[in-house]
Amino acid sequence: MHLFPPDSDSPKRPNLALFDLDNTLLPLDSDYEWGRFLGRIGAVDPQSYQQENDRFYREYVAGTMDIGEFLAFCLAPLAAHSQEQLDEWHRRFMQDVILPALHPQALALVARHRHQGHLCAIVTATNEFVTAPIAQAFGVEHLIATRIERRDGRITGRHEGIPTFREGKISRTEHWLQQLGHDLSSFERSWFYSDSANDLPLLSRVTDPVPTNPDARLSAIANERGWPVLKLFQ
């Protein structure tokens, strides 16, 4: 098993590369940082919102987070403002928070898979509003993120379909592949890069699971299973 794809001009079957985003390709959690950003600009109450933001993040790391409760929390501020205002804020968020956090090592990892012609996607529990511009910054065409409901051009504060979280990452990835005429078995090799033990369901389904900047729980599991560990960041 190799951490990086070997150079090959003629693979027998196509290859698939899946990337978690937060604390994997990015040295931060974009959902958590978006909440902090909203507090800094006064879009939410800084103290009370940050307290809840911190609580959800601790629960996520511990593997106890209720995804429905969390989505209701993080999507509520989006429903309170127009799309134009949200887009303006997100442009500032990208400039102030995300673009300075794009590390050459992470960009090179994605670029290597793309250069080899692999089908690439970012698979993240963070919602599509926050993550779509980030996926573009990495040059990844396909984004499998938690979908948000919109009506009459506004975000309602609710999510749509299955959140891209834990087993939901498998369901959403399989549905995306079916739309392209594939399934996971279509690929000679399939990589999934992730930092979190919450992603064990999908890590266990690919041919090449790569714990990347792994948390303590995933690091222990990687050691038990003999999975290679990739450190993109210190």
**Which residues form the catalytic set?**
20, 22
CB 172 within 8 A of CB 190: no
Question: Looking at residue 141, what is its pLDDT?
Answer: 95
Q: Which of 149, 151, 123, 153 is nearest to 138 (CA)?
A: 123
Can you tell me the mean pLDDT for 196-203? 98
133: which 2 tokens? 């511009």
Q: Where are the domains of the chain?
A: 16-225
13 confidence band (pLDDT: 50, 70, 90): confident
pLDDT tens digits, one per residue of 97-130: 999 999 999 999 999 999 999 999 999 999 999 9
Calpha distance 176→126 (Å, rounded)? 17
67: which 2 tokens? 């995804």
Return the CATH architecture of domain 16-225.
Answer: 3-Layer(aba) Sandwich (3.40)
SS3 91: helix
Calpha distance 3→62 (Å, rounded)? 27
Q: Report whether pLDDT(200) > 80.
A: yes
Question: Looking at residue 234, what is its pLDDT?
Answer: 74
Q: Report whether pLDDT(12) > 90.
A: no
Can you tell me the mean pLDDT for 193-205? 98
Q: Over the chain, what is the mean pLDDT?
A: 95
Q: Report whether pLDDT(1) > 50.
A: no
Question: Looking at residue 10, what is its pLDDT?
Answer: 46
**Cα separations (Å) of 64 from 171, 183, 188, 197, 212?**
20, 30, 34, 11, 21
